[in-house]
Amino acid sequence: MTSIISVQGLTKTYASGHQALKRIDLDIRQGEIFALLGPNGAGKTTLISIICGIVNPSQGVILADGHDVVRDYRAARTKIGLVPQELHTDAFETVWATVSFSRGLFGKPRNDALIEQILRDLSLWDKKDSKIMALSGGMKRRVMIAKALSHEPTILFLDEPTAGVDVELRRDMWEMVRKLRESGVTIILTTHYIEEAEEMADRIGVINKGEIILVEDKTVLMRKLGKKQLTVHLKAPLADLPAALADASLSLANDGADLVYTFDAQADDTGIADLLKRLSEQGIDFKDLKTDQSSLEDIFVSLVRAPQ
Amino acid sequence: MNLYAIKAIYKFEMARWFRTLAQSVISPVLSTSLYFVVFGSAIGSRMQAIDGISYGAFIVPGLIMLSLLSESISNASFGIYMPKWAGTIYELLSAPVAWYETVIGYVGAAATKSICLGLLILATARIFVPFEIAHPFVMLLFLVLTSVTFSLFGFIIGVWADDFQKLQIVPLLIVTPLTFLGGSFYSIKMLPEIWQKITLFNPVVYLISGFRWAFYGQSDVGVGVSLAMTAVFLAVCLTAVWWIFRTGYRLKV
């Protein structure tokens, strides 16, 4: 698959000496939804800001749709739409004026029908003549998205799009992201809500302390790093594990009331049948069984906590 | 050339002006009218004519310049300071816009406002004192050049300022005194000889002198020198703006 954004050896050192990005290499594929995950201060926003032209790179090259974002910024930026994390809006402008302004700024001729469509899709149409300062936070967020879409970008950056957003807007937003992807737009998003990345993204990149630790297909990542656990609720609690069950993948939990078995879900032989056989041999009765799969969040936490 | 972007910025800035029309237009016109009432009619009638020009008429070019300079600077500096302050500058920085397109949009709008205002004050002045304009085209040339140059200067101040106080400091502490001491209300020939020399370091002297020449055909310094000095200041401002965008000074980290 062709890459629409290619980041090579990108380094950013701020004037304070803080190195926000350390030789980042990253390729975003055409038409995918790419989720960039990382704790606060990991460099997510710096990376996005450099690609979009808001922050100067210290070193490295970035190509957007084949255009160098510094030397050939005009061609590169025309393709890119950005929804920043903060709600930066012109308080005194109307919704219609500010969205039309964005389209002109990105070098596109006036197109009222398109702006109307965008505003309708974002449920902003009845607010088109309202001043932005009269809108709620959620509505302002919608305005920011409308501005970013006004020039029909083929690459869309969403920096923490759902931070502080109500359930309804979040649902609308993901609906919109899916539609955009279907129309061929590449979407790069950062988020704190890992379940959203889990639900939406095709690929996931994890960034920590200015370094990309991992880039992987979401499904592969979940398979590779995901663990499964079987919890056996015992009829009678055990004080200790019997010698016959002393096994690294077995442990007692919940004051001996639960027996927890960790296994590799991908293996041909998960060992569950064997475990159950051993339990009956030992005369241990159980009431119930439950299996859990680790979420992307668990994987993420273990990745960024892991000693580098 | 991204003409759509220039148009968008220009329209945005003009819309801002129309929203605050009362404040942007009425207050300079009112204050200029007060100057004419006080200096032109009340005190002016007791003053001697300067170089054969009645005092009321004599101060017209200087008063227009006074408004032109302060309005150009405040309009243009506010225009670029606001997006910085509100954070909406992100969009300008991420847009496919060259530095000169940004400048044409912002400075063009600020200069347009100043030119309109200058003409409005000229019309207002005509109500209070009779005068004729000897060289109307030169007058317009100075009006436009000054508006553009000081709008550029204001743009630079707007980029440089990182709080509202700094936004006010330069116009208040530098430009207003230079304008008052630049011969708005007197001919520099009326000064003691040493001050006549010192005053030549004040760039505003050249603006007012040239502008007054366009009105009455008389000036403290040659009109060619006035034009050249204005052009030099314009070139300095343009260079500074070019440098700002090349380095990202106070705009980008």
- Give residue-wise pLDDT tens across range A55-112: 999 999 999 999 999 999 999 999 999 999 989 999 899 999 999 999 999 999 999 9
A-chain residue closest to B101, CA distance: A105
Grade residue A307 by pLDDT with cuts at 50, 70 and 90.
low
- Which of A201, A223, A245 represents a domain boundary (last residue)? A223
How much is the ipTM here?
Answer: 0.89
Taking the CA of residue B72 and the nearest CA in chain A, the distance in Å comes to 22
The count of structural domains within chain A is 2
d(CA B115, CA B147) in angstroms, rounded, equals: 6
B78 forms bridges with which residues in the sheet?
none
The arithmetic mean of pLDDT across residues B117-145, rounded, is: 92
Is residue B190 situated within a structural domain? yes
A97 to B15: CB separation less than 8 angstroms, yes or no: yes
Is residue B252 situated within a structural domain? no
> A186 and A233 share a domain?
no
d(CA B242, CA B164) in angstroms, rounded, equals: 24
Task: Check residue A306 and give its pLDDT.
Answer: 67
Is residue B155 situated within a structural domain? yes
> A192 and A274 share a domain?
no
> A168 and A281 share a domain?
no
Taking the CA of residue B78 and the nearest CA in chain A, the distance in Å comes to 14
d(CA B138, CA B143) in angstroms, rounded, equals: 8
Decide if A55 contacts A12 (C-beta within 8 A).
yes
Is residue B148 situated within a structural domain? yes
Task: State the DSSP H helix or E strand holding residue A182, giving kind and residue range, or none if neither.
Answer: helix A167-182
> A181 and A72 share a domain?
yes
Of B91, B92, B253, the CB nearest to A56: B253
**Measured in Å, how far apart are chain A's first and last C-alpha atoms?**
31
Taking the CA of residue A147 and the nearest CA in chain B, the distance in Å comes to 9
- Which of A223, A257, A286 represents a domain boundary (last residue)? A223
The count of structural domains within chain B is 1
> A161 and A37 share a domain?
yes
Positive or negative torsion for Cα A100, A103, A109, A111: negative
What does the pLDDT look like over A142-184, one tens digit per residue? 999 999 999 999 999 999 887 777 888 888 888 889 999 999 9
Instruction: Give the residue numbers spanning the domain of A211.
Output: 3-223
B94 to A54: CB separation less than 8 angstroms, yes or no: yes
Grade residue B46 by pLDDT with cuts at 50, 70 and 90.
confident
Instruction: Give the residue numbers spanning the domain of B213.
Output: 3-247
Is residue B37 situated within a structural domain? yes
- Which of A183, A205, A223 represents a domain boundary (last residue)? A223
Of A77, A88, A100, the CB nearest to B96: A77
> A195 and A66 share a domain?
yes
Q: Which residue has the higher pLDDT, B42 or B108?
A: B108
- The answer, as to whether pTM is greater than 0.95, is no
Task: Check residue B207 and give its pLDDT.
Answer: 92
> A254 and A206 share a domain?
no
A74 to B2: CB separation less than 8 angstroms, yes or no: yes
> A65 and A127 share a domain?
yes
B-chain residue closest to A81, CA distance: B94
Taking the CA of residue A167 and the nearest CA in chain B, the distance in Å comes to 26
Of B7, B93, B98, the CB nearest to A104: B7
Longest dimension (CA), chain B: 60
Which CATH number belongs to the domain containing residue A233 in this structure?
Answer: 3.30.70
> A216 and A231 share a domain?
no
Tell whether the model's pLDDT for residue A308 goes beyond 70: no
Is residue B253 situated within a structural domain? no
Residue of A105, A110, A143, A154 to mutate for B, most B C-beta atoms under 10 A: A105
Which CATH number belongs to the domain containing residue A10 in this structure?
Answer: 3.40.50.300
Phi–psi pair at A157, nearest 5 degrees: -100, 130
> A77 and A177 share a domain?
yes
d(CA A190, CA A38) in angstroms, rounded, equals: 8
The arithmetic mean of pLDDT across residues A18-32, rounded, is: 95
> A282 and A195 share a domain?
no
